Structure 1
Amino acid sequence: MFFYIIQLLSLASTVVAVSYLTCKSTPGSKDWPSDAEWAQLNLTLSGRLLKPSPPGAVCHPDQPTFNSEACPVVQAGWNTTIWHTNNPVSSVLNNVNNDTCLPEPTDPCSGEGYPIYVVNATSADDVKKGVDFAREKNIRLIVKATGHDYMGRSSAPKSLSIWTHHIKNISFQDGFTPNGCNFSDPIEGAAITIGAGEQMINIDYQAHLRNLTIVSGGGGTVGHGGYLTGAGHAALSSTYGLGADQVLEMELVTPGGDIIIINECQHTDLFWAVRGGGGSTFGVITSVTIKAFPSSTFLVATVFLGIKIGTEAYWDVATSLLGKFPALGDQGMTAYSEFVYNYTSADLNSSTPVDGFSGTFILPALHSENTTESLTATLRKVLDDVTAPYPNQFTSSISSQSYPDFYTWYLPSNGPNNAGFDAQTGSRLLDGKALTNASGLKEALKLLIPAQSPLQIYLVSGKGVHNAQPRGGGNAVNPAWRSAYVHTVVGAYWEPFDLAEKAKQEELLTNTYVEAWRKLAPDTGAYVNEADVNEPNFQQAFWGDHYPRLVSIKKAVDPTDVFWCHPCVGNEGWKVIDDVLCRV
């Protein structure tokens, strides 16, 4: 399809250039499929082609789907991830769909931020039919399982979406032989084969029923497809490795419409690339087989450290505390922690404002010496060591608890599960060099903690990630993970429709907040699933030295760019212009 794009000089209102571009088909263009062609696709899908209205439209009297009784239900669900994951087009973040139809009657509403049609897939064959139609008709194609994608890769206007949410199945094997592999013995241990629509909380539950544990995403409503393609950090990463390191086999629908099984014995380049190379790029995952581990007692300690606000000692102690994280990660410990500034919290037993630190420290009891007492003692020594130069200035507490297995802790603790707001994330991986660079780290913390309080610091790497041995000799996970200890997340927030504030916050995120971490750790990178969509040189930041090989595989499997997203492997050469995807 061809569009004439006329560029105007705003000051002179003069036409200065005309470009002749090849673009994806859109409604109103000559090659957009007719109603009869869409009806035929629906017939082949046994009625599973959807043309959904914007989910917030039920609250707008001027919309055909207005429903005064349904509106309060939508409004109540809008702030939860589970509601969005059960909707064919909705997303956790409002801005991913350009705020085009929020469930507020006073806001504008249109379908311009959403896909036009959705394949409600229940099988790999359904996915294939959708992919074939998009390829043959030159339609922009996206993939959604849950809508948890903070980068916006599972949303796009004027597109056809493959919704994999209803591809549900879970099966367990004791020992697993990948398809096409002539192994004398199966891969030792338990394995789980999971349909693309399954979500973490159910996978974890089913594993729990069989006395098994998996490397699981933090949010229970997260799907495993985008999680694994991005690398997938977890509460058990420091012990077992990243989510992508657990993959034994995948079923994939390729851009050419082939349904294939990829593993260490067949389609090995794709098997390497999909495990960490990013979602919505190399095809549509319809099922995956991963390792599972015997359940063990699960130890959790809640730590709090606080000091009177505005005390210089806080920065020294915060810096020293982070310097202890590499040693904790090497012990197999994980932590979800945050630094707070001028903060009051009943949950932290802080009734007056403090500058502080709180964290949940996690350790599976794989050895007899791992007990709540030993975990408490380890963390107590850390707190005593970092505060020793400042006697009687800090208050601290440690509360440890033992759980029978991971799931028992995970069920009430998973999250975050909030949704329905405008935001953008940014992240950086911090290695031992960055965490022990006292002067540089202190400088970064003094900038970031006041601006980002609470500042999220996730100790989700360590010996399990550094020493991981993925099947097939490796995977496409960002090499920075193999030396990092901490994944730190920062955010930008704004009210819907405030474009000036949006621009300001995005500028701060990219060029101030994340830049502070880049300056501290210039040779690492970022976790693609929780990164800045405007990350400079994202190719290096998300995939490092793996990027050239990933591009080569992308070009080989998808030479016409059936799949395109940003920021994703091989997306160079295309640009979204007025909601239309065009070659440039």
Structure 2
Amino acid sequence: MTQFWAFSFVVLAGSLLSAASGSKCSTRCRCLPTEPCWPSDADWQSLNETVGGQLSQVSPLGAVCHDPSYNADVCNELVMGATYNSSLRAADPGAGQWANWEAWGEKNETCYVGTQRDIRCGQGRVSPYSVAAASANDIVEAVKFATKHNVRLVVKNTGHDFAGRSLAPHSLQVQTRPMRDIKFAQDFVPDGAKKGVGPAVTIGAGVQLFELYQFCHKKNVTVVAGFSSTVGAAGGYIQGGGHSILSPWKGLASDNVLQYTVVTAYGNHVTANSHQNKDLFWALRGGGGGTFGIVTSVTFAAHSNPPLTSFTMDIVRPTADTAFWKLVESLYENIPALNDFGTSISSLIYPETVAPSPVDGSPESGRALFTVRGFLVGNTEGFPSALTSLEDAWRAEDSDNGTLSAPADFRFNVTTFPSITDFYVGYLTGEDRGGASTLIGSHLVSRDFIASPGGPAAIADAFSKIKLSPNEAISGNVVAGGAVASSKVDSAVHPSWKRALSHMMIVRGWENGTPLNEQRALQEEITNVQVPILQALELPGEEMGAYLNEADAYEPDFQRSFWGANYQRLYKIKEKWDPRGVFIVRKGVGSENWDEEGICRKG
């Protein structure tokens, strides 16, 4: 990031040249930097003064690795590992958590860390200007400025978005990370209510999960939120529904929201809860981040902080053979019974791992890895027998196939933590790994399907047909059932969450600098081949969906897949609160009316 008036023309040159030459100002399209409607230097300076000097001009994170902005020391630090530092990426307005969304390959605008120094650095999808909002008023002013000048607006919390919704070309970015207040109330009274609703935690829009859990640990309470250090809890995570290892216990994160404060497309700062602006409150609980306004704070219901039991089961086999996939089948045979006790499960399947050779560092073919981690809150009565059933099934598969060569090939461990937050503060250290180029695909699979005759075998068979490169994974998260299924909260999340048990996800990636045609081929394989394999895991007549925060960024039928029967209601609320389309994100509500980058209206 550069200082406000230290603008680098060369960094933006690719972006300016790529804009349509001779384009004219249009009410149908956002204003572009090449057009006379684009704000003048004086306009930007005025905005900077209005927001207390918090406006900056932005270069992509990788600019320091390319001429003429090359900085050997800083670039080397990025190349040696800092480029994967999620905290750095969360703080830098010129970075997202996934490098592929910083680039704009279709316009040949890239600025990767680690590619050749003489490759021209383009602005890509990185906003040329950013407001580091320290208050709701800063956001109000940014929204009014973008609306007045018809400039594309984008919201970045920490950039953890697999569909690149926190990045957009030729845009003004509102970065909410500076808003990091956290407050606890023993008996929170929502605006407009006559009495309190119990303990609650209110966070500013920029609070990251590890900060939230540290605060809760000191108060000896817990909240339902994600399992990551640097995800911003108030952003797309909770506005997209938000699953958690605690969801079978207390529901989705959005089920636990008591109140939002939000800046609307009209530049108003309003409260949304069950007493005021009820339609907006409904939409913000599952309708997607950056779509209905810019959230400035969220109030969560605070819960007790009981012990948490965690178990891990890891197995390594020579190859992903029939015996390997039989282990997957065994897991899903046991999942309904484990979930009946309130267990959540996270599993990762690596059909092929590759590690550096200890001799010369060259890639060395590894083996198939299957790792399972489960979590149970509070009372564990009856749980050991259900867990033993899974352990016995895995050991039986071992014995039948006789392929394990050492005890280290199978690891099983159970640990009980004094409290939920004891676990979180011990495992979430403030760092995640970002910076890779990543695409995913996903689908929710129902309890009925998993419990049906042949269901687990069909899941294992489907997974075996998904072809992955080394170190790419299939993830199976059992984060539903229990309180998710029984919740009485009326919200915008896909109705199939009520029937779901497992959120299944394919994780793919590529090296920075991979040719665009190869990236497109991988994306098309995910969209047209691999996600349909997951979508086939349904009983006749079922209509399941996908968790929109972790779904295919190119999903062709996103309305049905992400929201199902709730979409038409969401669309009407969008039209009411944002009729001009100030807030448009990739595959978000109302985005079908705009081009892929949210620059021009269709038709």
Give your verdict on TM over 0.5: yes
Counterpart among 33, 37, 41 of residue 39 in structure 2 = 33
- The whole-number CA distance in structure 2 between the counterparts of 1:107 and 1:44 is 37
3-state DSSP class of the match of 1:216? coil
2:409 counterpart of 1:409: no
Among candidates 137, 143, 154, match of residue 166 of structure 2: 154
**C-alpha separation in 2, matches of 1:398 and 1:416:** 26
Name the counterpart of 1:119. Answer: 131
Summarize the alignment of residues 260-279 of structure 1 with structure 2, pairs less than 5 Å apart. 260-279=270-289
Identity %: 32
Task: Decide which of 53, 56, 71 is 1:50's aligned counterpart.
Answer: 56
2:587 match: secondary structure: coil
Describe the SS at the equivalent of 2:43.
helix
1:87 aligns with 2:92: yes
Give the Cα separation in 2 of the matches to 1:541 and 1:481: 12
Once residues 527 and 416 of structure 1 are traced to their aligned partners in structure 2, the CA distance between those partners, rounded to angstroms, is 24
Q: Is contact 2:96-2:159 (8 Å) kept?
A: yes
How far did 1:50 drift?
1.1
Matched, 1:460 2:474: no
Deviations 1:247-278 (A, max 9, x none): 00010000011100110001000000011000
Aligned to 2:500: 484
* Contact kept in structure 2, 1:376 and 1:399, CA below 8 Å: no
Match of 1:11 in 2: none
Post-superposition Cα deviations, 1:398-423, rounded to whole Å, max 9, x if no partner, equal 21111112233223434982222212
Question: Offset of 1:386 from its aligned partner?
Answer: 6.5
Change (3 A) 1:513 1:125: same
State the 1:343 CA deviation. Answer: 5.3
Written as runs of structure 1 = structure 2, the 5 A alignment for 1:515-530 is: 515-521=532-538, 523-530=543-550
Q: What displacement does 1:305 show? A: 4.2
Partner of 2:228: 219
Q: Structure 1 residue aligned with 2:386, among 362, 374, 378? A: 378
Letter in 1 for 2:245: A
The 2-side partners of 1:194 and 1:502 are apart by: 38
State the partner residue of 1:540.
560
User: 1:340, 1:449 within 8 Å by CA — same for their partners in 2?
Assistant: no
> If the length of structure 1 is used for normalisation, what is the TM-score?
0.88
* Deviates further, 279-288 or 478-487: 478-487
Q: Which whole-Å CA distance do the structure 2 matches of 1:163 and 1:352 have between them?
A: 42
| 1:424 aligned residue | 439
Q: CA deviation at 1:376?
A: 4.4
- How far apart in 1 are the matches of 2:512 and 2:77? 21
Task: Give the Cα–Cα distance (whole angstroms) in 2 for the partners of residues 507 and 251 of structure 1.
Answer: 39
From 283, 292, 299, the equivalent of 1:289 is 299
Q: Which residues of 2 match residues 83-482 of structure 1 at below 5 A?
A: 83-98=88-103, 100-104=110-114, 105-183=117-195, 186-188=196-198, 190-224=199-233, 225-305=235-315, 309=319, 311-341=321-351, 355=368, 357-364=370-377, 366-367=378-379, 369-370=380-381, 375-385=383-393, 391-393=399-401, 396-414=410-428, 417-435=432-450, 436=452, 437-438=455-456, 440-448=458-466, 454-470=473-489, 474-482=490-498
Q: Is the 8 A contact 1:23 1:583 kept in 2?
A: no
8 Å CA contact 1:339, 1:449 repeated in 2:
no
Q: Distance in 1 between matches of 2:415 and 2:383?
A: 10
Distance in 2 between residues matched to 1:352 and 1:93, nearest whole Å: 26
Residues 120-159 of structure 1, C-alpha deviations (whole Å, 9 max, x = no match) = 1001110000001111111111000101111111101100
Shift of 1:80: 1.6
Asked if the contact 2:474–2:507 (Cα under 8 Å) also holds between the matched residues in 1, the reply is no
Aligned to 1:555: 575
TM-superposed deviation, 1:352: 11
Contact 2:112 2:512 in 1 (8 A): no
Paired amino acid for 1:94: A
Partner Cα separation in structure 2 for residue 222 and residue 465 of structure 1: 22
Q: Give the superposition deviation at 1:67.
A: 3.0
Q: Offset of 1:341 from its aligned partner?
A: 2.8
* 1:67 alignment partner in structure 2: 71
Contact 2:67 2:118 survives alignment (8 Å): no
Deviation at 1:325, TM superposition (A): 1.5
C-alpha contact (below 8 Å) 1:487/1:527 kept by paired residues: yes
**Residues 377 and 215 (structure 1), Cα distance of their counterparts in 2 relative to 1, 3 Å cut:** same
Q: Structure 2 CA distance, aligned partners of 1:112 and 1:276?
A: 29
Gaps of 5+ in 1: 8-17
1:15 maps to none
- CA-atom RMSD, angstroms? 2.7
Q: Return the alpha-carbon distance in structure 2 between the equivalents of residues 327 and 444 of structure 1.
A: 22
The 8 Å contact of residues 87 and 431 in structure 2, kept in 1 or not, is answered as: no
Q: Alpha carbons of 1:21 and 1:34: their partners in 2 closer, same or farther (altered >3 Å)?
A: closer
**Per-residue deviation, residues 295-345 of structure 1 (Å, max 9, x unmatched):** 111111111345564653443442242132122222110111123435589
Aligned length: 551
Q: Deviations over 1:437-488 (max 9, x none)?
A: 2453243122127668532111111212111233xxx111111111111111
CA-CA distance at 1:385 after TM superposition: 4.4
Contact (CA 8 Å) 1:376, 1:400: kept in 2 or not? no
Q: State the match for 1:22 in structure 2.
A: 28
TM-superposed deviation, 1:111: 2.0
Cα displacement (A) at 1:58: 2.0
Question: SS in structure 1 opposite 2:186?
Answer: strand
CA contact (8 A) 1:380 1:398 kept: no
**In structure 2, distance between residues paired with 1:381 and 1:576:** 49
1:74-94: CA deviation from partner (whole Å, max 9, x where unpaired): 443211211100112310111
CA–CA separation in structure 2 for the residues paired with 1:343 and 1:496: 20
Q: Residues 495 and 239 from structure 1, CA distance in 2 versus in 1: closer, same or farther, beyond 3 angstroms?
A: same
Question: What whole-Å deviation, never above 9, does each CA across 1:30-62 have from its counterpart, x for those lacking one?
Answer: 211111111111111121111122222222231
Structure 2 vs 1, CA of residues 421 and 107 (structure 1 numbering), >3 Å: closer, same or farther?
farther
1:210/1:512 CA distance change after superposition, 3 Å: same
Determine the structure 2 residue equivalent to 1:13.
none
Paired with 1:390 and 1:70, the residues of 2 have a C-alpha distance of: 49
| Equivalent pair of 1:299/1:362 in contact (CA under 8 Å) | yes
One-letter amino acid matched to 2:140: K
SS at match of 1:25: coil
- Assess, with a 3 A threshold, how the Cα gap between structure 1 residues 236 and 106 changes in structure 2: closer, same or farther: farther
